[in-house]
Amino acid sequence: MPSSVANESQFRFQSSRSSRQSSCSSRSEPGATTPTSDVVDKALAELQLQSSSKSELLSTSSGKPQRFGWQIKPSKLSLNTHNRIRNIVESLKIKPNPEKPMIPLSIGDPTIFGNLKAADETMKAVLHSVESGKYNGYAHTQGHEAARQAVAKYSAHQRPNEEIDPMEVVLCSGCSSALEYCILALADRGQNVLIPRPGFCLYHTLAEGLDIEVRYYDLLPDQQWRADLVQLESLIDENTAALLINNPSNPCGSVFDEKHLRQLIGICERHYLPIIADEIYEHFVFPGSKHVAVSSLTTEVPVLSCGGLTKRFLVPGWRMGWIIVHDRKQRLVDAVVGLKNMCGRILGSNTLIQGALPEILAKTPQSYFDGVIDVLHSNATLAYKMLKQVRGLNPVMPNGAMYMMIGVDIERFPAFKDDTHFVQELVNEQSVFCLPGSCFEYPGYVRIVLTVPKTMIEEACARMTEFCDRHFKKDSRAFIEHGLLDEEDLAF
């Protein structure tokens, strides 16, 4: 019987027994006053106490506190955990134009449109893992040794002067899990981590529920999204636990060059800060750019590098990520103990994919990866050329990843109050769905994905052009200054 029901029954039984005892007492003592009103008053008082303060614990005859009524409360962690993208998107009042097929340029899943698929070698590797029957049970919480060895070999470029020990590799349930482990291993309640703005909203989601403060350092669009170094360094104090670098970037598609990475490393050296490197897009780099692993440039600053199969191998649903610990001066010894302890929370990642990892990483051909990059680069170039001609829009050409940020001069679109409103009406009129920059703490921009088929990118950009042309407001003052319009022409 549920405790609340049992308590209510106990109360009714005790009240009834008390009533009967009082009644007997009144009959056995001639001349005594009738106690009925006292019993009723007592019962009413107890009921009132129960209803007015259900959260209070009342003592029974045994002295142990008991609950009266249901008192289920959500955890503080759950209430403080928010996905900013979901919160903003769900607040939109969207009703796509029924005359135009929906083009969702908002979804960061490269497989959703069907034009980009995992390589045959990748698929066969998993089939072999299943058929072997060797990977149906639990693995070491850090991952099977053979899988960790494969990741260490695959990631050798992150430490060109020495080998990566498989014991420095931690397998996780996707790169998001890797990021969570790193944040939890380095930061505690009341501390802060530095994350980029604009940046992937998951960083904030992972930290805020744990009362870990997020401090945003700005990326500069007119400098290909390099970090504002002065502003970044001003954020650091004694409670700063780590600097998070996302390179190549979601949502910017930027790729930091070696010089800029060394500037960031210099700041970390001065302030004794470890780096969390989100490098899930490390191989998604367009021609003319080069990704440099931050861990390859320093032996002084410890780096936790997060990667995975998700994007390069086009299998985000397989949830296979990893952390590589780069700590040549042994400055993360205690934190690494905590990091490995974190793996015990879910008893390790998907073992079937672990079994396939050596074959996936070794046998997927470079020609496959080159083909994917060609699609993304071609789409980025097409979108940039088309949108650069649109009044009121200012796209920033990406150098990697699979996204493009587009500036919106919202003052030239007076029908819309902000980037979120702009996105909402773009869906309602043109059935083109982008993500507002507010999702990435960067209002005044929108983000599009570049993984869709070429014809879809072209159609989406054409619709965006039509939408902007319709709502763009000319700067009449500029026409006056150039003698193309008289003051009298402005009178209505």
Give the domain CATH number at 425: 3.90.1150.10
Pair 167, 108 in one domain:
no
Distances (CA, A) of 159 to 155, 298, 454: 8, 9, 37
Average pLDDT for 200-205: 92
Tally of structural domains, the chain: 3
CATH of residue 267: 3.40.640.10
Q: Are residues 51 and 102 in the same domain?
A: no
Statement to judge: residues 357 and 399 lie in one domain: no
Of 312, 338, 365, the one marking the end of a domain is 365
pLDDT at 9: 41
DSSP E strands in 3-130: the ranges are 58-59, 65-66, 103-104
What mean pLDDT value characterizes the chain?
87
Q: Residue 161: which pLDDT band, with cuts at 50, 70 and 90?
A: confident
Inside any domain, residue 247: yes
Q: What percent of the chain has pLDDT over 70?
A: 84
3-state SS record for 263-327 = HHHHHHHHHCCCEEEECCCCCCECCCCCCCCHHHHCCCCCEEEEEECCCCCCCHHHCCEEEEEEC
Q: Which domain holds residue 23?
A: 3-66
Q: What is the pLDDT of residue 33?
A: 43
The mean pLDDT of 4-31, rounded to a whole number, is: 42
Each residue of 66-124: pLDDT tens digit?
878 898 888 888 888 888 777 787 778 889 999 999 999 999 899 999 999 999 999 99
Query: Is residue 13 very low, low, confident or very high in pLDDT (cuts 50, 70, 90)?
Result: very low
Q: For the chain, how far is it from start to end, CA to CA, in angstroms?
A: 78
- 10 domain-assigned: yes
Mean pLDDT over 265-288 rounds to 97
- How large is the average pLDDT for residues 395-417? 97
Mean local confidence (pLDDT), 223-251? 98
End residue of a domain, out of 365, 382, 414:
365
- Domain shared by 274 and 202, yes or no: yes
Residue 8 pLDDT greater than 50, yes or no: no
**Same domain? 107 vs 213:** no
Q: If you average pLDDT over residues 200-221, what whole number do you get? A: 93
Residues 164 and 286 in one domain: yes
* Judgement on whether residues 201 and 147 belong to the same structural domain of the protein: yes
Same domain assignment for residues 48 and 145: no
- For residues 96 and 175, membership in a common domain is answered with no
> 285 pairs with which residues across the strands?
400
For residue 328, being part of any structural domain is answered with yes
What is d(CA 299, CA 257) in angstroms, rounded to the nearest whole number?
A: 18
Is there a single domain that holds both residue 141 and residue 247? yes
pLDDT over 90 at 55, yes or no: no
Q: Is residue 74 part of a domain?
A: no
Q: Which of 345, 277, 348, 341 is nearest to 319 (CA)?
A: 348
Whether residue 17 is contained in a domain is answered as yes
If asked whether residues 358 and 373 sit together in one domain, one would say no
In a domain, 76, yes or no: no
Instruction: Tell whether 316 and 332 lie within a shared domain.
Output: yes
In a domain, residue 408? The reply is yes
**Residue linked to tokens 């990977």:** 135
Model pLDDT for residues 312-358, shown as the tens digit of each residue = 999 999 999 999 999 999 999 999 999 999 888 888 899 999 999 99
Among the residue ranges 12-16, 103-107, 150-154, 289-293, the one predicted with the least confidence is 12-16
Q: Look at residue 182 and tell me whether its pLDDT is greater than 60.
A: yes
pTM: predicted TM-score of the whole model, two decimal places: 0.83
Residue range 241-254, pLDDT digits in tens: 999 999 999 999 99
Task: Give the pLDDT mean for 279-298.
Answer: 97
The residue out of 323, 344, 365 marking a domain boundary is 365
In a domain, 460, yes or no: yes
- Report which of 311, 261, 252, 292 is spatially closest to residue 440, judged by C-alpha positions: 252
